[in-house]
Structures are given as C-alpha cells and as structure tokens.
C-alpha cells in the first residue's frame, strides 16, 4: 500500500458535475482511514472550495497549490511560496494589455483580476469565489503565479509571447469551463513534481512510493517524477504517455479506481 497519493483537481478530483462525487469522497475517507495520506496537487489557489477540498483530504498535511508555486499545511496554516519576479509580472501584464487577454495575479491564498467579462465570471464561478475587479497591488502577499485565461485556440500565442520571460509556462484545462485554457506562469524551478518531492521528503517517504493522479499538461512532469503516475482516461496524450497506469474518466470516478490501485502496490524496500 502506498503511503502518499497526490491528486489533481480539475479533470481528476472534479469533473463536469463541478464538485467531487460522493463515491470519490467515500474512497478518500477509506484511504485516510487505512493510514494513507492524500495531498491536493493543483494549479488552483488556496482559497474557496479548493482549500476545503484540501482540508477534507487531509486536515493536517501539506498540499500543493499554484502548480507548486505555494505549499500550504492545513494543520498549521504555514505557507511556503515562490515569488514570481517583478519583471515577469510586469511583462505578462503588458502582454495581456497589448492583446486584450484576460490575466489574473495570485498570491498563495488570494487573487485579482481587472476584467469583468464572461470568461472572468465563469472562472470565478469555477473557483467558487465572487468576481471582484481589483488591481494586483491590493494583494496582501507576494505573487506566486500569473495566469492567462484565454480561448484554447489562443494558447500557442500566449506561450510564444511568454517564451522570452524567465518563468515556467504551462497550460491546463477544466471540464467545468470547456473551450478555455489556463496558462500559468511561475518562478523557474517551480512545478508540481518538485513540490511533491519536497512534501515526500518532509514526510520521509521515498518518491518511488508516491502516486500522482492527473490529466493535464501541467501534470506531465509530476506523473513522470513519482514512482506511480496515474493518468485519467480523459487525460491529454502526453500525460498518458508519462504515466504508468490509466484509470477511468473523471466522470466515471476514475479517482476511486486509482485509490483502490494504490492499496495493491508495494512500497520499495528500505
């Protein structure tokens, strides 16, 4: 039985129903009851329903937010963030303004957006928070992630515009907001895989004994970094290629299958 399972949110924990199913919560409760640790590993921020998901999965453990841009311990409230360079934040803002693209700025536990269009409103609804237009200088702590929220067909343009910046740029999608891509920009060296490695080390668990369950482009590195990468049936092709296992679609409770799989896998010899 594996001791640590890391779980993506959109497309893995949450499908088209917008919330985790009762079957998923039942399987998660069974996992914690048998002594396994469940850690959220998401591009989302540590606020709203997403933070509640983390607390329900493990109320006294580390969780990964902002694609690794911030770690939060649900027991102590400690946050370990990785600040995005000011020049990257400014460049991204200028690029968004020049093209009329929606851009969001995130601290570990808050976010700002200055545009009140349909994409912005739909994304706020996805995150379970009210849409309030305000400038990034109203954030109370450092910016750990910048995110463009654009139609999928524009994603390659965003990557091209940000390619000259000293940042990790990676995209993700959600079945809750189809047709849109979330392009996150974080500090160099930041990733879900790196953050999961930090958590595993903190818990004295070998990375070879960790499972990661995901579906998106921003999960690919983590799926390959852990000992047991699990791709959802709805995962992008590169995520499936990086994983060692594949389970059912998110809307068919594939995460339940992954949690059951974790009980059959042996830890490495010490």
Q: What is the pLDDT of residues 90-139, one digit of tens each?
A: 999 999 999 999 999 999 999 999 998 999 999 999 999 999 999 999 99
Both tokens assigned to 61: 């453990």
CA dihedral in degrees (131, 135, 138, 144; nearest 10)?
90
Q: What is the pLDDT of residues 134-172, one digit of tens each?
A: 999 999 999 999 999 999 999 999 999 999 999 999 998
| CATH class of segment(s) 4-81+190-262 | alpha beta
Domains 4-81+190-262 and 86-186 share a fold: no
Q: Quick one: pLDDT at residue 269?
A: 67
Domain ranges of the chain: 4-81+190-262, 86-186
What pTM does this model have? 0.93
Just give the CATH number of 86-186.
3.30.1240.10
Phi and psi at 19, nearest 5°, equal: -140, 160
270 pLDDT above the threshold of 80: no
Q: What is the pLDDT of residues 194-205, one digit of tens each?
A: 999 999 999 999
User: Other CB atoms closer than 10 Å to residue 141's CB: what's the count?
Assistant: 13
Query: Is residue 180 very low, low, confident or very high in pLDDT (cuts 50, 70, 90)?
Result: very high
10 Å CB burial of residue 130 (0-12, 13-18, 19+) is: exposed
């Amino acid at each position: 039985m594996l001791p640590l399972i890391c779980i993506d949110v959109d497309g893995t924990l949450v499908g088209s129903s917008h919330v985790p199913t009762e079957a998923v919560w039942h399987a998660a409760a069974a996992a914690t009851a048998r002594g396994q640790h469940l850690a959220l590993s998401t591009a989302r921020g540590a606020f709203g329903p997403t933070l509640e998901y983390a607390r329900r999965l493990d109320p006294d453990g580390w969780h990964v937010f902002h694609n690794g841009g911030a770690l939060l311990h649900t027991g102590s409230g400690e946050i370990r963030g990785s600040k995005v360079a000011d020049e990257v934040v400014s460049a991204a803002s200028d690029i968004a303004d020049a093209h009329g693209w929606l851009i969001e700025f995130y601290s570990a536990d808050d976010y700002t957006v200055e545009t009140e269009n349909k994409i912005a409103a739909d994304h706020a609804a996805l995150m379970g928070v009210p849409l309030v237009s305000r400038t990034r200088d109203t954030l109370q702590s450092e910016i750990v992630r910048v995110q463009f929220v654009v139609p999928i067909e524009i994603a390659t343009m965003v990557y091209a515009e940000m390619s000259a910046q000293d940042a990790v740029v990676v995209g993700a999608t959600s079945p809750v907001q189809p047709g849109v891509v979330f392009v996150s920009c974080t500090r160099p060296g930041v990733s879900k895989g790196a953050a999961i490695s930090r958590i595993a080390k903190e818990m004295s668990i070998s990375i070879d004994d960790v499972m990661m369950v995901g579906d998106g482009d921003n999960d690919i590195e983590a799926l390959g970094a852990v000992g047991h990468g699990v791709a959802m049936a709805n995962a992008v092709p590169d995520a499936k290629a990086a994983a060692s296992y594949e389970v059912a679609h998110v809307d068919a409770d594939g995460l339940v299958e992954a949690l059951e799989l974790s009980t059959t896998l042996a830890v490495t010899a010490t």
